[in-house]
C-alpha cells in the first residue's frame, strides 16, 4: 500500500516514497504523477515527514498553483522531437512514421498514446545506442546492455557492470542534449562518481556539456508533461 500524508485546508495529498539512497527529504511537484511526492531516507518517521511537509506547505501551494497540467497525447498533439516539433496525425493504415512534420499513427484513438510512445522509445534507443558507442570508443571502454525506460527522477544511469539506462523522453529534447546525457553516462564507465575527475571526462567527451545540462534542468519538466497513458 502506498504511503501518504494529507496537510492543510484545502487538503493536499502527498505521496511518500522511501529511497535507500536518499540522504535527506526532498519534496517535488511531479507533472507525470498524481500529486506531489516526498522522498524519504530510510527510517524517517511519519511524524518527521509530516513536520517537513507542513514546513514546506507555502512553497508547495505556490508550486501547485503555477504547475501546468499534463498534456494528453492524441491526434493533433504537437510533440517536441529532436529540437523540432511533430504533430500527431491519424493514418488510415501503415506503420508509425514521421514525415512531412507529423507523426503518423494508425489504429483506434485509444491506442494513440501507446503507439506514439513505442515509436519514440525505439527512436530514442537507436540514437542513445549510437551516441553511447561513439563516446565509449573515445574512452576505449566497453558498453554493456542499454535499456530505455520512462523514468521520473533521472535521465540516465550507469551500473558497475557497464549497463546503461536512458529515459526515452530524451528523444523529445534537441539532439545535442541527448548526446550530452549519453556522454554523461558513458563517463561513468571511467569514473563511477560525480567528482571533478568525472566532470573532466564529460568535458573531454562533450566540451559544451554545461549548456545542454542547463537546458535539461530548465526544460526537462516540460518533457515530462506529455501524458502517454492509454485513453478510453
Residue ranges covered by each domain of the chain: 4-66, 78-227
Q: 84-101, pLDDT tens digit by residue?
A: 999 999 987 888 999 999
User: Residue 11 has what DSSP assignment?
Assistant: T
**pLDDT over 90 (residue 28):** no
CATH topology of domain 78-227: Zincin-like (3.30.2010)
User: Residue 34 has what DSSP assignment?
Assistant: S
pTM metric for this prediction: 0.75
Torsion, Cα of 206, 210, 215, 218 (10° steps): 150
Measured over the CA atoms of residue 200, residue 203, residue 205 and residue 209, the dihedral's sign is: positive
Q: Return d(Cα 116, Cα 222) in angstroms, integer.
A: 17
**pLDDT over 70 (residue 31):** no
Q: 217-227, pLDDT tens digit by residue?
A: 889 888 988 99
Q: Return d(Cα 145, Cα 147) in angstroms, integer.
A: 7
**pLDDT over 90 (residue 145):** yes
Amino acid at each position: 500500500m502506498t504511503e501518504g500524508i494529507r496537510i492543510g485546508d484545502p487538503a493536499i495529498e502527498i505521496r511518500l516514497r522511501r529511497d535507500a539512497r536518499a540522504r535527506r527529504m526532498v519534496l517535488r511537484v511531479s507533472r507525470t504523477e498524481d500529486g506531489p511526492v516526498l522522498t524519504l531516507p530510510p527510517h524517517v518517521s511519519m511524524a518527521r515527514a509530516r513536520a517537513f511537509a507542513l514546513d514546506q506547505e507555502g512553497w508547495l501551494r505556490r508550486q501547485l498553483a503555477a504547475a501546468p497540467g499534463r498534456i494528453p497525447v492524441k491526434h493533433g498533439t504537437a510533440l517536441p522531437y529532436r529540437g523540432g516539433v511533430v504533430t500527431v496525425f491519424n493514418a488510415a493504415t501503415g506503420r508509425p512514421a514521421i514525415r512531412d512534420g507529423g507523426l503518423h499513427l494508425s489504429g483506434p484513438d485509444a491506442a494513440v498514446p501507446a503507439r506514439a510512445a513505442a515509436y519514440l522509445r525505439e527512436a530514442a534507443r537507436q540514437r542513445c545506442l549510437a551516441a553511447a558507442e561513439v563516446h565509449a570508443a573515445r574512452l576505449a571502454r566497453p558498453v554493456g546492455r542499454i535499456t530505455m525506460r520512462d523514468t521520473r527522477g533521472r535521465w540516465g544511469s550507469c551500473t558497475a557492470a557497464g549497463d546503461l539506462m536512458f529515459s526515452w523522453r530524451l528523444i523529445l529534447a534537441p539532439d545535442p542534449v541527448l548526446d550530452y546525457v549519453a556522454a554523461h553516462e558513458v563517463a561513468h564507465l571511467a569514473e563511477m562518481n560525480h567528482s571533478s575527475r568525472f566532470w573532466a571526462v564529460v568535458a573531454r567527451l562533450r566540451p559544451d556539456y554545461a549548456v545542454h545540462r542547463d537546458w535539461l534542468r530548465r526544460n526537462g519538466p516540460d518533457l515530462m508533461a506529455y501524458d502517454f497513458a492509454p485513453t478510453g
